[in-house]
Structure 1
Amino acid sequence: MSKLFSWGRPKAGNPAAEQEVRKGAAWGRRFFWHLCLYLGVILVFVLQAQPTTGSGGPIKVEFQYQQF
């Protein structure tokens, strides 16, 4: 029964197999971190490229001059 639910974990006392599992877990965390980082950077570029308020035209600036 314990063999069915081992989920690929090494038995205690096998340092080589434990090291392989740690390498795999570290690789998975690193991959997930890079995936989130790259998706975040792409999301920032996409959001920056969107026009504000949907106008798409030039910004109109009105100046008020004070006369002395």
Structure 2
Amino acid sequence: MNIIITYHAKIRMKQRGITNLEILHVLQYPIHIRKIHEGRREAVGLVRNRKIKIIFIHGRNYIKIITVI
């Protein structure tokens, strides 16, 4: 499965000090995933006692990261 990180998400990751490995960890071990509007989903996870939210689209062969909060 390919993971695509948008330019916007990369900027937010840099601003918030979130790494690619932390993104992968949250996607693999989320506390929960919920559907939000327009086919988007929100994954929430903990990394080093820090809550990370990922807004993404789950396609057939890819996950596209829209933003990271």
Scaled by the length of structure 1, the TM-score of the pair is 0.18
Q: Which has the higher contact order (CA 8 A, sep 6+)?
A: 2
Scaled by the length of structure 2, the TM-score of the pair is 0.18
Larger strand share, 1 or 2: 2
